[in-house]
Amino acid sequence: MSLVAISCFAFVIVITLGITYVAARRTHSADDFYIAGGNISGTQNGLAIAGDFMSAATLLGTSAMVFEAGYDAAIYISASMVAFTLFIFLMTDKLQELGHYTFTDILCTRLNERPIRIVAATTALASALMYLMVQVVGAGALIQILFGIDYWVAVVLVSTLMVLYVSVGGMLATTWVQITKAVLLLMGITVLAGLTLWQFGFDLSAMYDSAYRKHATPHWLIAPGGLDLDLLSSLSLGFGLVFGLLGSPHLLMRFFTVADAYQARKSALVAMACVSYVNLLIFFVVGIGAVALINGRPEYFENGIIAGGANMVAVHLAREIGGNVFFGIIAAIAFATILAVVAGLTLASVSAISHDLYARVVRKGQATEREEIRVSRISTVVLGVLVIGLGLAFEGQNVAYLVSLALAVAASTNFPMLILTMYWRRFTTMAAVLGGVTGLVTTLALVILGPAVWVTVLGNQTPVFGSAYPALYSMLTAFGVMFVVSLLKAEPGRDAMNPMGPRLQ
């Protein structure tokens, strides 16, 4: 098993490093580094968005969620479809028309640049760092169970590869790593679902019947309650997943890599098709098939819990139906999934530091392209160190749950600022600054006071804030502050008939 798994992992690493080497030789300017020169086609970009979106939470966390919670996992599946639909109808045209390198550029088309870049870069970094933490947690658990190495060694390995991809190859390398990952995941999940169904003669009824008999909770798949959520918690989770995706810097950045609005819409459609296909197979076949085939099997459990944690359900299922060879292949695909998302998140983070903060705020637009790219590469190394610390602090958490916390930050900060800039003429710089800061502080405070940190990380008996999902409260608070401040004091000097300025050059 070790030889097969090592070979599969080595193949993924060699291919992605090869892509990075080729991309590095074609990366000469800031346009090349940040947006691949704007020369990515709609189909390519759609696959890259799907690769960027389908993180460790998709293959590992969602299958674990179905395995444990059943029906309630549907909220994770449906959120992505709703988010991409909103992308197509509300955001793609304006993103492509007004953006340049980061979503902050759009805010600066009509708001005062210096304070906006400071706040937006801070909120972008906060959401991206939390999302990066999710990926290394998933990678650490995966590599730990495969090779028997310490968790911290696995976290360091993934973070090192992350630094190499972004600092050397920029957006072009990131794009093709994401496309490669998306194709591998589409193929892998198709084969995994097909082999699972084959175990039951392609009879869904037989598979579902077996799963019902083996699951400890009655009606786990047809009735809510698996996640023990009340109405407000369910709404809060849904708000965070949907609007957090619409405010995710790494996804927003991808719409600047295509030539026009048509290609941007095409990107979103291709991404939605790929993501929906994978999510539906995970929910209706992989998660339920895992219950039917491995639940209660002692070889997959340690002290009553799944070996390696619930996140390993999908790779255990692969070993059950395809032996050690398929086990190694699916594990390698999961690893490629993590690497691709980590690369996109890191690039979005360093863009906020080098472009928004350094080039536009510190150097006031006077930084050379060479200087800006050098700062990006230094920032990548620093981020790698931070991510290692976060990954070690949140060891053992369910990655799908951690994604909901990362998206709550984006939903409460980036999304309100972006959507109000696009569609509300009275929106002001002061409102954006105060609302963005309020959304960030509120989200982080509720996360720290909630079960994930106050109880699990800090070891207290009961949380101060009872809900595990803060997005509903923090997002409405941010929107409220932005509306009130905008209405109380108008911003002088703006042409009310033409609130959108020209595309930032």
* 445 located within any domain: no
Locate 153 and state its tokens: 């060694």
* 480 located within any domain: no
Locate 456 and state its tokens: 């699990």
Q: Strand, coil or helix: what is 329?
A: helix
* 420 located within any domain: no
The per-residue pLDDT for 400 is: 57
Mean pLDDT of 26-36: 76
Q: Strand, coil or helix: what is 461?
A: coil
* 235 located within any domain: yes
How far is 358 from 361, CA to CA, in rounded Å?
Answer: 6
In single-letter form, the type of residue at position 139 comes to: A
How far is 33 from 168, CA to CA, in rounded Å?
Answer: 9
Percent of the chain whose pLDDT exceeds 90: 18
pLDDT band of residue 71 (cuts 50, 70, 90) is: confident
* 61 located within any domain: yes
* 274 located within any domain: yes
Which CATH number is 288's domain given?
1.20.1730.10
Looking at the chain, how many residues does it have? Answer: 505
The yes-or-no verdict on residue 436 having pLDDT over 90 is yes
Bridge partners (DSSP) listed for residue 131: none
Task: Name the domain count of the chain.
Answer: 1
Question: What is the secondary structure of 96-148 as a DSSP string?
Answer: HHH-SSSTHHHHTTTS-HHHHHHHHHHHHHHHHHHHHHHHHHHHHHHHHHHH-
The per-residue pLDDT for 499 is: 41
How far is 58 from 44, CA to CA, in rounded Å?
Answer: 20
Among candidates 352, 348, 379, which has minimal Cα distance to 178? 348
The per-residue pLDDT for 29 is: 76
The per-residue pLDDT for 503 is: 39
* 446 located within any domain: no
Mean pLDDT of all residues belonging to the chain: 82
The per-residue pLDDT for 281 is: 92
Which range, 122-131, 150-159, 173-182, 432-441, is most confident? Answer: 432-441
The per-residue pLDDT for 500 is: 40
How far is 172 from 190, CA to CA, in rounded Å?
Answer: 27
Q: What is the pTM of this model?
A: 0.84
* 456 located within any domain: no
How far is 264 from 258, CA to CA, in rounded Å?
Answer: 6
The per-residue pLDDT for 224 is: 75
pLDDT band of residue 278 (cuts 50, 70, 90) is: very high
Q: For residue 202, give its domain range.
A: 2-397
Which stretch of DSSP H or E encloses residue 435? helix 429-449
Among candidates 376, 326, 321, which has minimal Cα distance to 351? 376
